[in-house]
Amino acid sequence: MYLILDGRNVIVDIVEEAVITDRGIETSGTIYAKGLDLSILEVSEVPSGVVPQEYKYEDGQFKINEDYVQYDTTEGKIISLQDQIQGLQMALAELTILLAGGEA
């Protein structure tokens, strides 16, 4: 098992095979171009739950990447914005009722 690591030891990929060639780091499905600050490291096993970007490999240990930010898909952003809009519409309706002298 191989880890592809960036210059900050963040795990970029976890692969069965990786070799350094004149084109860069080659795996069974990807070529990481030369010039990217990447390295490969062979490990005996990867603990369950360790995934690229969310973990680092430092001092012989898998550690949570404190700088990781969850990628939010376009669909996820739309849902979040729709929820915010709905909350604002409800608040505006309550304010309108209160300003009109009614009870919310």
Band of pLDDT at residue 12, cut at 50, 70 and 90? very high
- pTM for the full predicted model: 0.67
Query: In the 8-state DSSP scheme, what is residue 10?
Result: B
Same domain, 36 and 85: no
Which bin fits 7, alpha (ψ -120 to 50), beta or left (φ > 0)?
Answer: alpha
Looking at the DSSP assignment, which residues form a beta bridge with residue 18? 27
What is the share, in percent, of the chain residues with pLDDT greater than 90? 78
* Whether the predicted pLDDT of 103 surpasses 80: no
* DSSP three-state, residue 45: coil
Split into its structural domains, the chain has a count of 2
Residue 72: band (very low, low, confident or very high) from pLDDT cuts 50, 70, 90: confident
What tokens appear for 51 in the block?
Answer: 């995934």
Which domain range does residue 77 map to?
A: 72-104
> Do 21 and 58 fall into the same domain?
yes
pLDDT average, residue stretch 13-39: 92
